[in-house]
Structure 1
Amino acid sequence: MKAVRVHSYGKRPSIDDVPEPTITGPLDVIVKVGAAGLCRTDLHIIEGQWAEKSGVQLPYVIGHENAGWVQEVGSAVTNVAPGDAVILHPLVTCGLCRACRAGDDVHCENNKFPGIDTDGGMAELLLTSARSVVKLADGLEPAAVAALADAGLTAYHAVRKAVPLLYPGQTCVVIGAGGLGHIGIQCLVAMTAAKVVVIDPNEKARELATELGAHEVLASGDDLADSANVVLDFVGEQGAESLGLTMTRRAGSYYVIGYGGAVNIPTIDLISTERNIIGNLVGSYNDLDELMTLAALGKVTLHTRQYPLAAVNEAMDDLEAGRLQGRGILVP
């Protein structure tokens, strides 16, 4: 089968012919990939930012936002059958550790992360687990939702955690209305009654934020010091970190979702204002199931551009250069 593989850090991936995955365990599921989302994390992987943390052996197949149709299942799989349309939770989890039993499977002690530390879904077929597949409601197509498996799930997870703080009359500032941010805006509008203020220097991104229901849209947050009860930072680099902290009110919460930069604050400033700095990884299986409900209701939609699998490097160029609005979707 065809697959996108990273052979060395600092160099773009290639399209290779690789063996098809096979069923080896009773809970294995093989999915015919209908769409794989392109994420900025894929660029960071190629740069080598994840090399030490993931410990993955090169070459390997990237792609951690995947949806498609079940092709084959192991002997113990009962929740899906061949032909079912599914979206995949990005982690393959054990179901037995304390985190899994508590529903916090994001922190599974024995997880695998296809596309990060093992072969992912920028390929014709992907091996996953029965614990990772969420059946799609009628009318939802894999290409329309694939990027919700990580970008959408990560955005939803952050909003879900912030919801108790965003009662009517509160203000939430969103930094970045791109691939993650435009999903976060929709989740905020659907799940809270807070005022949503969006900051993005890109005019098209601001126009999209307005279309999605943001109450105020700005090119800069320079005049918003101490203005937000909650800040959701979908950028996390190039100065967004210091801006996010500056905009957070006393006793407010700054959620870091994008990454690449560094958060620097004197400890005395942190304790004297009682601001909270909260990291956000991808969401849980239950988060993804809830997000698919919002998608089925039309509350959350993806703005995407499709590319054939062979055009992965063109798609990466567009993402890196800022030409890609919303999410890039690779279709095998």
Structure 2
Amino acid sequence: MKAVRVHAYGEQPEIESVPDPVPKGPMDVLVEVGAAGVCRTDLHIIEGQWADKSGVELPYIIGHENAGTVREVGPAVGNIKPGDKVILHPLVTCGLCRACRSGDDVHCENSRFPGINTDGGMAELLLTNARSVVRLDAGLEPVDVAALADAGLTAYHAVRKAVPLLHPGTHVVLIGAGGLGHIGLQSLIALTPAEITVVDRSAQALDLASELGAHHTVEATGDHVEAVRDLTGGRGAHVVLDFVGEGGTEAEGVAMTRDAGSYFVIGYGGRVEVPTIDIISREINVIGNLVGSYNDLDELMTLTAQGKVALRTRTYALDDAPAALDDLDAGRIPGGRAILVP
């Protein structure tokens, strides 16, 4: 099969022919990839940021946002069958450890993460297991939802955690309305009654945020922290969702958070540096967010089937993966996601 593989950190991945994956376990599922999302994490992988954490041996296939059609299943699989269209939870989990049994499969003690620490889905085929597949509603196609497998799931997970804090009369600020942020915004609108302000440096992304239903938009031109504080009566937001997490948004996000409020870190690459006296005296919460659970993905697919969440995408052929990665890195896909179609 054809696949996109990283051979050396700091260099563009190569498109080459590799052997097809073969199901071996009773719960294995072989999926014909119909669409693979291109994520900023892929850029970080290529840069080498994940090298120590993943421990993966090069070369390997990247791609952790995947959807497609089931081609083959192991003998113990009963929840899906060949021909089913599915989206794949990014983790392949065991189902037996305490985390899995608690529904916290994101922290499975025996998980594999295709595209991070084992071969991923920027290829024609991907091997996963029955615990990772969510059957798509008849009205959904893999190309329309692939990026929801990670970007959408991560955004939804953060919003889902913030829901108890966002009762009527609260204010939430969303930093970054791009690939993750525009999904987080739609999730906020679907799940909460909060007043929503979106901050972004891209006028195009802010236009999209307004179109999707944001109550206020603020262009990040230098005085955006003050603008947010003005919109919140000088107190700051009850919740700040930072979908950027680098380039200064870390300090800005904390400054936009009101006393006793919560700053959610979703994007990454920077550092959150807050004096402990400020955390205590202001009694603020700093909350980390990893990718969501299987149940989060199932809920997100329900919202998508209902038309409450939709991706803005730009499609590329698998052979054009380097161009898609370049466009993402250069900011040429504002307010949307790049999708590879094998």
What TM-score do you get using the length of structure 2 for normalisation?
0.97
- Identify the match of residue 276 of structure 1 among 285, 296, 299: 285
Distance (whole Å) between structure 2 residues aligned to residue 315 and residue 97 of structure 1: 38
**2:305 counterpart residue number:** 296
Distance (whole Å) between structure 2 residues aligned to residue 31 and residue 55 of structure 1: 25
Q: Is the 8 A contact 2:90 2:113 kept in 1?
A: yes
AA of the residue aligned to 2:89: H
**1:73 counterpart residue number:** 73
Which aligned pairs between 1:49-88 and structure 2 lie closer than 5 A?
49-88=49-88
Which aligned pairs between 1:120-139 and structure 2 lie closer than 5 A?
120-139=120-139
**2:338 counterpart residue number:** 328
**2:216 counterpart residue number:** 216
| 1:303 shift after superposition | 0.1
Q: Is the 8 A contact 2:68 2:87 kept in 1?
A: yes
Unaligned runs of 5+ in 2: 230-234
**1:191 counterpart residue number:** 191
| 1:222 shift after superposition | 2.3
AA of the residue aligned to 2:240: V
Which aligned pairs between 1:1-332 and structure 2 lie closer than 5 A?
1-220=1-220, 221-223=224-226, 224-225=228-229, 226-325=235-334, 326-332=336-342
Distance (whole Å) between structure 2 residues aligned to residue 306 and residue 317 of structure 1: 14
Q: Is the 8 A contact 2:225 2:255 kept in 1?
A: no
AA of the residue aligned to 1:241: E
| 1:323 shift after superposition | 0.7
Residue aligned with 1:243, SS = helix
Distance (whole Å) between structure 1 residues aligned to residue 194 and residue 139 of structure 2: 31
Distance (whole Å) between structure 1 residues aligned to residue 160 and residue 89 of structure 2: 17
Distance (whole Å) between structure 2 residues aligned to residue 193 and residue 330 of structure 1: 35
Residue aligned with 1:328, SS = strand
Distance (whole Å) between structure 1 residues aligned to residue 194 and residue 117 of structure 2: 38
- Aligned residue-pair number: 332
Q: Is the 8 A contact 2:166 2:194 kept in 1?
A: yes
Residue aligned with 2:225, SS = coil
What TM-score do you get using the length of structure 1 for normalisation?
0.99
% identity of equivalent residues: 70
Distance (whole Å) between structure 2 residues aligned to residue 201 and residue 48 of structure 1: 27
